[in-house]
Structure 1
């Protein structure tokens, strides 16, 4: 992070996974709303590219730091540096996450551990260390965890992702219950399928886009800005009496248990056959 001259009364928000499509939009929305934003990501090059884009938009109040949230000491050092340079931390968006397809029966243990380490442990590190800073400052604050609509339902071959995202929802409730006395609000945003580079490959599979849209009540996919707007709302004074909430931003996809990228044909015993989730 390169320290800049800042007004220490300006609220400071920290965003993890800031170099991804959703993270970039969250940073942009919070900065546009008047926050000093510290953008964290473990990918330095991607973070610098994102920063160049923010600068072109005239968003000069964004600072960047390379941090891997699975490294507890790195998280502690980053939060300490932010407090020293900017004088405060008012909010956190824990957006960084990990997902990899794999059936439960054959999933490498390393894949399971990676989901837990990034999605759950890493998010806990960010939440706890940030909350400690907010509590000690005695000014209150807000924390938003980015979960998924798949936290509410099962998806074949994304079980590890579903489990760890569901755990985030419960982590948020526990934190909201215990941190309210410090006037720290904790909420969850649960996005559905949005149009990003990450989802483009899956959506290009035969019949997937059409099938998913047919089961999305609002009839279209979302975009990163729409999710970021929900995050910005929860960070604002308009959400001052909202904590422990789970906000679905998925066009209603979860009503039908979507997305279902793959599914298992179980018609022959002991012979699982994985097929396109939207094939007939």
Structure 2
């Protein structure tokens, strides 16, 4: 099977040895070194993770093909604690949001849909965005040009959602709930610095020194699909996702995509700073939340001045 034919469904159907061989070949084609390989239960079956190191950065294999992304609002039944937070904190605060929680969430998340995305290597960590050279330079165009010079590119919205959710149909990549008694930020190193810049970045990927084939498994927590090794901890956001990405983990960590209207992973702390309520503060971490307000601000007249407030997650296409 050619690597370009390595779809999400086919990847999940492989046995461990075959998956390892494909991961090794994909790493070789990317001029990288396979540093982590494991697998474990995931909604709908089993999922492997493969991570390479290339040029001082770590990239995770994201099998594509025909996949499902977005969120099914029509079938969503908000948990009682989420409804209570919205009613007693958000609506009581008089912020002018919709009375119905589903209607409010509909303003932010993309609909459930079937899309076709390529199989790629995607950076485990987002990078700090470089600053545009000219005041009038469009942010997305500048970032695309900067990455292209390194043989990389921005992810598309569909690619980002698939890479984050890894096939899960829940609101968050880890499940349907969020720890309302904890803040949706902190405890992570936000944005590594791109290679070749003056300040060396810190790769916070889990170190891997053993044979990648025997590095263990990632086991989903109860009610939290695809969460590797979280045990019974309430806070899942800082754990890598089912593909091995550190993603959707801090509301101050917004990530741009190739679509100027879609910024994922965070809202720049707007809901937290605004005191909009616990659940609404966690909502920017929802897999399908495209954060339209953040996107509008980022690509507006002041967007070029907030380079350290958003990141880019480079994508390396399979050759």
Above 0.5 in TM-score?
no
Q: TM-score of the superposition, structure 1-length normalised?
A: 0.27
Whichever structure has more helix as a proportion of its residues is: 1
Query: Which fold has the larger relative contact order, with Cα–Cα distance below 8 Å and residues 6 or more apart in sequence?
Result: 2
